[in-house]
Structure 1
């Protein structure tokens, strides 16, 4: 459409004149007699009457101000309403067009998503990523949907990302094997029956391998100190019973916590004091 030109036909700035100088002089003359007035407790009624008279005058002035302002702003309100009415005419055409454009854009993004996903799946297979790390590769940046972002650059970035995730997974697998081997070693050496999964799960809480190995050593000593019967020979023990890991925050006295730790250790439960 041709460039729309909005022209102002008549603009009259709001202006109002009233007897300001006259009122100011009258107030200075009349109010001076109230300045410095002091009332005793007996004059409480007279004091209240004086306040009422002064507030009455102030209220009359404020009422005049509000009514005059309303008259002055009425043309402004009408002007804004007219502009809004014209704006609605634009919206009646713009909104349907915008809906079409949004639909086109969503279809374009979906098409690009279908081009990106096979690249990700191929990289997951080549790097042998498990669910934990493959999910991170699927969670790619929204900028990949930008028109300026080419598939070639996307594939290059995803390849680097997949290699990095693969290295993290390899390290995690190696750390788990180290921990499991240490658990097996300590069990064989001390006749205990600690479970590897209890300790490998600590890796998910950013606990280092060295810290976990130290915890295993401490747990073995605690079990030995309490003459704990290995779980495999304990009455009612189910060899293949599934183990779980929960993180708790416990509050209590020093004695309470010592009793809790003794209970967990005596029942073959692996535990660790987590640093806050």
Structure 2
């Protein structure tokens, strides 16, 4: 390639800067400390217009000079770009060919790194969780990467991962022992899975143990409360049964007392003159209705017969049913005797 021969001369621009600066300073003095008021607004606008005109004129002059002096630079840049395009036209195909072979080399280096990693995982017995973290780094695939350097770097990473794995195994064992001890005192058993989120977040063993103990204590308190509630309920049921039994004893005693009164009344009535017995029975009947032991609930209407029969049986029912049965027997003129009565 022909060597570039360049003749360059830095642009030289001279101007009477100091004279113009001094002129502007002198001219600007009359505009200093101008106070804009409503009365002098018109004059202020005129001053501002005059200053704006000078400013625009100076800026336009600057741009024109710069544009003119930049023309040789623009021509030079355009020429260089055209030369570069000529080089790129023939360079790109070569670059593409090289990149194909470079990619093959990178792929080969990646395969070497993968084999080194797989061997390290097997040798140091990393589990699946930590084995996945031993990935292929980009630097292992560089064209200048060496298998020995890759192996050294992988072994260093394995050492760190192995430490983490060992700590996790130890933590899991401590968790299992702690949970096993807690489960001895509770019915709703805890499990490792209940705290898997803490393990995944790599929480410290101290924090995990605190969580396990707190959960176990909460379950224990809940179960103790439930036991106390069941105990209180059982005690209430026992007290209710005792109270109910006491009421039944009182009621039974009351019935026995009334039965004795009725028997005594019957004896008294039996000793009365026959002409006053019907009137007395009418007065005693209401008392008997409350405690009479009824005959069977279902009974056929008695037929007219001179031969009389009797039947003994026990009838159970509530007070209303006993009253109804007693009334039923009286309406059909059955003769019956309550041999025993009381609460069940």
TM-score higher than 0.5:
yes
Partner of 1:183: 179
What's 2:211 paired with?
215
Q: What residue ranges of structure 1 are gaps of 5+ in the alignment? A: 230-276
**Alpha-carbon shift at residue 224 of structure 1 (Å):** 2.4
Q: How does 1:249-260 map to 2 (within 5 A)?
A: none
**Cα distance in structure 2, aligned partners of 1:216 and 1:107:** 53
2:87 pairs with 1:90: yes
- 1:41 pairs, out of 38, 57, 66, with 38
Structure 2 match to 1:259: none
Tell me which of 48, 53, 73 is aligned to 1:76. Answer: 73
Is residue 192–residue 220 contact of structure 1 (8 Å, CA) maintained in 2?
no
Q: Report which stretch shifted further, 160-169 or 171-180.
A: 160-169
Q: Distance in 2 between matches of 1:195 and 1:223?
A: 13
Taking structure 1 as reference, are residues 63 and 130 closer, same or farther at Cα in structure 2, changes over 3 Å only? same
Query: 1:218, 1:65 → 2: CA distance?
Result: 79
Question: Could you tell me which residue of structure 2 aligns to residue 134 of structure 1?
Answer: 131
State the 1:34 CA deviation.
4.5
* Alignment counterpart, residue 8 of structure 1, candidates 2, 6, 14: 6
Q: TM-score, normalised by structure 1?
A: 0.68
Instruction: Give the secondary-structure state (helix, strand or coil) at the position aligned to 2:126.
Output: coil
Aligned residue among 91, 110, 114 for 2:111? 114
**Using CA pairs below 8 Å that are at least 6 residues apart, which structure has the higher relative contact order?**
1
Whether the 8 Å contact between 1:180 and 1:200 is mirrored in structure 2 is: no
Q: Please give the alpha-carbon distance, in whole angstroms, between the structure 1 residues aligned to 2:154 and 2:34.
A: 84
State whether residues 114 and 136 of structure 2, in contact with CA within 8 Å, keep that contact through their aligned partners in structure 1.
no
Matched, 1:58 2:27: no
Match of 1:241 in 2: none
Is 1:225 the counterpart of 2:221 in the alignment? yes
Contact 1:183 1:216 in 2 (8 A): yes
Deviations 1:31-90 (A, max 9, x none): 555456566532211221122122212222221221121111111111111112212222
Per the TM alignment, residue 125 of structure 1 is displaced from its structure 2 partner at its CA by: 2.6
Contact 2:106 2:141 in 1 (8 A): yes
Question: Structure 2 vs 1, CA of residues 224 and 31 (structure 1 numbering), >3 Å: closer, same or farther?
Answer: closer
Q: CA RMSD in A?
A: 3.1
Distance 1:134 1:84 in 2: 52
Q: How many residues in Structure 1 have an aligned counterpart in Structure 2?
A: 226
Answer yes or no: is the 8 Å Cα contact 1:123–1:159 preserved in 2.
yes
CA shift in 2, pair 1:41/1:152, >3 Å: closer
Is 2:105–2:143's contact at 8 Å kept on the other side of the alignment? no
Q: In 1, Cα distance between the equivalents of 2:16 and 2:153?
A: 76
